[in-house]
Structure 1
C-alpha cells in the first residue's frame, strides 16, 4: 500500500514552509532515517528524514515551491511489493510554485495621469531563483547568481549549477527607460502600494527567505512595542585575557580553545543569577521570573541571524560552553539547528567586536527583556590604580525592556557584569 509523505511541522509554530530542495528523485529507494528534502521554515533550513521504507513513486510538490502548508502531501512512497509505476498522485491539487511577478513602478506625481514608462526587460521577475544551499555555495565561491543558468524546476539554480560555474562579475543590467518629467504637480502622489526604489539604478530584486521575513517582522515588532533603555559601561579586559591564556594552556590537547565570547556568555549568565530582576519576561499583566539563565547567542549565517542557546550557562564550565557554542554555531551556519536549540532563552548576547565595532545598541529579542551588545576590546588611556595608564578596554551596552526592568536594576546588572569580567576568577566557581 502506498504511503503519503506530508509536509512536516519542523517547529511548534510552523504552519507552512518552502520545499527548498529534494535530496531524492522518483525511483529512489529510501529507508527510515534517509534524508529526503531540505525544508526552509521561518527560522532555518532543515533536513527532512524518511520515517518509512519504500520507493519514491511520485514527487507531488516540486522543489522551490513556497507556502506549502503543514500536512500537504509532498510525495508518495510505494510500499513493499507495490509497483511504483502504478501509484498515482493524490487527487488534491498540490501547491503551485510562486509565479514570478514584475513589480510595477510607482506613478509619478502629476496633474494628469501619465503613461507608464517602458521598462527594460526583467529576467524572472527581477529576482534570481536559487536554493538556499546554492546561495551559500555561491557566496563561498564568489559566484554571481545573476550569471548562472539554473537547471532546476522553473530555472531554479541548484547546487550542481554553482559547482560548475566560475567566479565572475555580474552581467551588465540595462537601466530602464527614464520616465518623462512630470507636469507641475498640484498635489503629492499617493504612496505606492509597495516600497519604492530607484529602478534607474542597475539592480536585482531578491525574494525574501522565510528566515529574513521572520527577522524583519520580529525586529519591527520589538522596536515598535518594547520601550528600550540602553546602559553602557567600559570594562577592562586585561585580567580576563590573562586568565583565558592560562586556561587555554591548561586545555591544550583536549580540543578546546576558549574564546573571549565564551567567557562573556558565562559572565552574563552569572550576572543574571545575581541580579534576577533582569532575568525576566514582560507578559502583559504578568512578570515571568526565571530561576535559570539560558543565554541566546547571536550567530550570523548565510540566510540571516539566528540565536542558538547555551542553557543554564551559569552552572556549567567554560570548556562546556566553548564546546557547545562551537558545535551550535557550526550547525547554525549549515541550517541544521533543531527548534529546541534556538527557541527560548532568557537573555541574549551579540558580539560585534570581531568586526572592529567599538559600541552599538542591540535590539531586544522578544519575549526576552534584555540583550548585551559587546564591542571590540582595544587599547585605551585608562585610570589604573589612580594613575593614567593604558589598558585593554571594551564597551558593553545592555538593552532592557523598560516595562519589565527598572533603570536601577539594569544598572545593577551592568555593574555586576563589569566586576565579574574585571575579576574573572568568579567565572570558575
Structure 2
C-alpha cells in the first residue's frame, strides 16, 4: 500500500466516502418528520471520525485493514468471517443506493416494478465500468448536487435556519424515541471506526500525525455540511412546498430538481439524471467492494471481477431494499449486526488483550447469532423500533459473557494443570 496522503487529502477522502446518496437523501427523508434532528446521520458520522482519530495512529502502525487484522491475530478462518460479515453492512449501503435510485426513477416517471429493475440493471452495468471513469463521473455528479443544494438553501431563505442549526438540532432531538436515537448514533459512528472503507484512507496517510489530523478535520467538515440537507428541507417546509410529496425518499431529489429547473428549461431533468448517476456510481462502488469481500470469504471462489459474485451481492442488497425501511434505518439495522459480531474482538485487538483463535470464533459466532436473531424478529414485526438497539446491545452483551466465561474456564484449566504437576 502506498502511504503518501497528507492530512488534507485524508480528510477529503473520508468526507467523500461519507457524502453519498444515503447521507443526502436519508438526511432529507428524516428532516421531513424530525426537523433539523434529521441531520443525526451526518452528526454521528462526524463524531465517528473523531473517535477514529483516537486510535488512528495505532491503526496506521498496523498497516492492515480490519479483516487482515483479524487474520493476523486469529487466523485465516476469522479473516474470511470478517470479510463475510462486512457484506452485511455493505449490503445496507447498497440498499440505500437502490432506494435513492428508485426514488429518482419515480420522479422521472418510471413506474414500478420497471423502475426497480432498471435501477438494479444499471447499478450492475456501472460496476463493470472502468473504475477511474466511473469514480470521476460519480464525483462530478455529487459535486453538482452539492452546489445546487447550497443554491437551494439560499433561494429558499434557509440561511438563517442553517446558522441556527446546532441549537435547533438539539431542540428537535426529542422527536426521536430514545432507543432509535441511540441506535442511529451508535451504529453510524461505530461503523466509521470499524469499516474498511474508511480505514483504507487512514492507512494510506503519509505519517501517523497526518492520519490523526485527517480524521479530526474530516469530523469537523462533516459537522459543517451535515446540516445542509435538513436545513433545506426545513426551509422548504416553511413555504408548504412539500405538503403533497408522498415519498420521503424523494424530498431531496425533488427539491434539487425543482430548484435547478428555475435556472433554465431542461435543467430539472439534467439534475435528476445527475442524481441518478450519483446513485448508480455509489451503488457500483459498493457492489465492487461486496464482490471482493465474497471472493475473500468463500473458499475456492472466483476472482472479485466474476459476474456471478456481483449478481449475488446485488441480490442481497435488493433483498434488504425490499423491506421498504427508511434510507438511514436500512443502513442502521444491518450495521448493528456487523458491530455486534466483530465489536468485542476488535476492541480486544486495539487494547492489546490476547484472545485465543478458538475463543474468538465462539465470541463472534455468539454475537452474530444473537444479533441476527433480533434483526429477523424486527423484520417479521415481532419487535418495535427498539429492535436495532436491542440487536446491538444484546449481541455485544452475549459476546462479552462468552468471552469472560471462556477466560474463566481457561484460567481454571491452567490452575488445575499447575496443581497436578506440583502434586
Query: TM-score of the superposition, structure 1-length normalised?
Result: 0.20
Question: When you count helix as a share of all residues, which structure comes out higher?
Answer: 2
Larger Rg over CA atoms:
1
Structure showing greater relative contact order (alpha-carbon pairs closer than 8 Å, 6 or more residues apart): 2
Query: TM-score of the superposition, structure 2-length normalised?
Result: 0.20
Question: When you count strand as a share of all residues, which structure comes out higher?
Answer: 1
